[in-house]
Amino acid sequence: MSFEHKRPNDNKEIIFGIRPVIETIKAGKEIERLLIQKDQHSVLIQELIKLAKDNNIPITQVPVEKLNTITRKNHQGVICFISVVTYASLDHIITESFSKGETPLILILDRVTDVRNFGAIARTAECMGVNAIVIPSRGSAQINSDAVKTSAGALNFIPVCREDNLKSTLDYLKESGLQIVGCTEKADKELYDYDFNGPAAIILGSEENGISPEYLKKCDGLVKIPMTGRIESLNVSVAAGMILYEAVRQRK
């Protein structure tokens, strides 16, 4: 029995029903997120939760009303969204880049949740030759059809790595020889004064909260975009374009 379904006016494919979702995960499908009804404790639900955690799939427990707004069919308290992209392995990206004699440039997005901003950033990153975009498995924009559309198709080409623990990811990148560069208005140094010629991972935070303090501590350098106007902040996609352009300009 198939539980595949697409909501009207929504290009995100969903799978619902406990068994169909379990089999979808076992089949190796990329899952964007998994919604499970609160207070579900059956053996089969526990099997599903363990399977999802083993595959680093974000789980959100929601009231049944939330699930009912997505589909009125027999969802059995479980709905998952199929990802429109295949997530890449960051380890593979870094290893491959060095083996080709490249100088890797990675973009890390911390708490950037707006889908259109994410799509615009992906478009710029692909144009600037960024090796990969790294996002956290939770607290990040959904990579859905809107994101792909806003990226002008760039998300079909640039690798996206979804990491369960950004702190560990930053440690891995540092151990691999990359400088972690935080773009923040709290910095003393302007981005034009920073040397981007070596392997680097640039981290950007949300417009509301910036980069998380725990990640700022991991940075090897902090840079800011000089501004002379009265407004003290930029749209994050614009900021991404400016810092990536400067990195590429220096490397040219």
In a shared domain, residues 127 and 185: yes
In a shared domain, residues 239 and 159: yes
The CATH number given to whatever domain includes residue 230 is 3.40.1280.10
Straight-line distance from the first to the last Cα atom of the chain, in angstroms, rounded to the nearest whole number: 56
How far, in Å, CA of 59 to CA of 142, rounded?
Answer: 13
Single out the residue in 82, 113, 145 at which a domain terminates.
Answer: 82
pTM score, two decimals? 0.86
**Sheet containing 189-190: which strands, arranged edge to edge?**
160-163, 132-136, 105-110, 200-205, 179-183, 221-224, 189-190
**Residue 45 domain boundaries:** 4-82
Give the pLDDT confidence score for residue 7 in this predicted structure. 42
In a shared domain, residues 51 and 112: no
In a shared domain, residues 115 and 239: yes
Give the pLDDT confidence score for residue 12 in this predicted structure. 59
Single out the residue in 28, 47, 82 at which a domain terminates.
Answer: 82
Give the pLDDT confidence score for residue 110 in this predicted structure. 97
Number of domains, the chain? 2
In a shared domain, residues 38 and 120: no
In a shared domain, residues 47 and 130: no
In a shared domain, residues 244 and 119: yes
Give the pLDDT confidence score for residue 208 in this predicted structure. 86
* Structure tokens, 110: 């911390």
In a shared domain, residues 53 and 159: no
Which residues touch 166 (CB under 8 Å, ≥6 apart)?
A: 108, 110, 134, 136, 215
pLDDT per residue as tens, the chain (252 positions): 334 444 433 445 899 999 999 999 999 888 989 999 998 889 999 999 999 999 889 999 999 999 999 998 999 999 999 988 899 999 999 999 999 999 999 999 999 999 999 999 999 999 999 999 999 988 899 888 889 999 999 999 999 999 989 999 999 999 999 999 999 998 999 999 999 999 999 999 988 889 999 999 999 999 999 988 888 788 999 999 999 999 999 998
Where does residue 104 rank: exposed (0-12), middle (13-18), buried (19+ CB within 10 A)?
Answer: buried
In a shared domain, residues 41 and 139: no
In a shared domain, residues 100 and 154: yes
The CATH number given to whatever domain includes residue 62 is 3.30.1330.30
Single out the residue in 82, 98, 120 at which a domain terminates.
Answer: 82
In a shared domain, residues 26 and 144: no
